[in-house]
Amino acid sequence: MKLEGTIVAMVTPFNSEDEVDQAGMRENINYLIDRGVEGVLAAGTTGESATITHLEQRKIMDILVDEVAGKVKAIAGAGSNSSKESLGLVKYAETAGADAALVITPYYNKPQPHGLYEHYKLLTETTDIPIIVYNVPSRTGTDIDVETIGKVSQLDNVIAIKEASPDLDKVSQIEKKMEELGNRDDFRVISGNDNLTLPMISMGAKGVISVVANVDPQRMGDMVRYALKGDYVKAEELHYELYDLMKVLFVESNPVPAKESLNMMGRPAGHVRMPLAPLKEENREQLKKVLQDLKLI
């Protein structure tokens, strides 16, 4: 499996009883597919993985696979700071029929580089599902280094890294390491930062796992497709059209602004779970203006 294009890091919609809005999730999946995205990811950070139960997470995986029905890539968020818990989630994603599992570097306990390697090794020795490593040091407290990425990339079934550090030079270092290992065609770098996706593609990345695409899947998807084709003039135009949206969606903790955007657009989203809180009013007005400027509301 070769990952490419725009994969949407979907929000998890909740209803007024604080349950997963299953019908709303199915509606969102079809909305995104109809607008040309190449994949959808459920139960990731944007899907509030930190506050959904494992039972809910498994149900979300089932809905994802059932509704996608092979039309695009279905990717399941399956990480944990416990290798044992992560293995259980990855196994479930495989049984459910997901195309790949996104596995965050274990957070809070700050494992050593050789511990990170053993974590992913355990998953690949026990399952056959393609695995995407997710590096987001701002949330986990751990930044997987290039040497360790190189070792992990040679494990069976590890197909990509979602790189969400702000260090663009690291993208070049990873691509160079893959070239040295003869693994550049098989192991993909995927952007984890919407606003850095265009420069990352110019350095060899093959797409994005995107928050922005929840709100504007058409333009985000077009930007990535133009960039991957080498049409950087059109890609740059779309990058700057979307730039204010890329920034305002992180004016408070993700996915607070993304969910508020969807609510303004009349799409299923609902509230965020505590300890996240509703968007501040001054930021809500800023967000509303950006959505109006893009003619999304």
Mean pLDDT of 31-44: 98
- Reply yes or no on whether the pLDDT at 183 is more than 90: no
Give the per-residue pLDDT at 115. Answer: 97
DSSP for 213-228 reads GGT-HHHHHHHHHHHH
Q: What is the DSSP letter of 195?
A: G
Whether residue 214 contacts residue 11, with contact meaning beta carbons closer than 8 Å, is answered with yes
Global pTM value? 0.97
Spot the catalytic one: 117, 120, 134, 226: 134
The mean pLDDT value of the chain amounts to: 97
Give the pLDDT band (50/70/90) at residue 219.
very high
57-86 pLDDT tens trace? 999 999 999 999 999 999 999 999 999 999
Catalytic, 71? Answer no
Collapse the DSSP code of 77 into the 3-class scheme (helix H, G, I; strand E, B; otherwise coil) and give the result: strand
What whole-number distance in Å separates Cα of residue 8 and Cα of residue 31?
11
- Reply yes or no on whether the pLDDT at 185 is more than 90: no
Spot the catalytic one: 92, 117, 162, 170: 162
- Reply yes or no on whether the pLDDT at 184 is more than 90: no
Catalytic, 91? Answer no
Helix axes 22-34, 54-68, angle to 10 degrees: 40
Give the per-residue pLDDT at 32. Answer: 98
Domains identified in the chain and CATH numbers: 5-242 (3.20.20.70)
Give the per-residue pLDDT at 238. Answer: 98
DSSP for 254-292 reads TTHHHHHHHHHHT-S--PPPTTS-PPPHHHHHHHHHHHH
Give the per-residue pLDDT at 259. Answer: 98
201: its two tokens: 């593609």
- Reply yes or no on whether the pLDDT at 209 is more than 90: yes
- Reply yes or no on whether the pLDDT at 1 is more than 90: no
Give the per-residue pLDDT at 103. Answer: 98
Give the per-residue pLDDT at 231. Answer: 98
249-287 pLDDT tens trace? 999 999 999 999 999 999 999 999 999 999 999 999 999
Give the pLDDT band (50/70/90) at residue 191.
very high
Higher pLDDT, 1 or 155: 155
Mean pLDDT of 31-58: 97
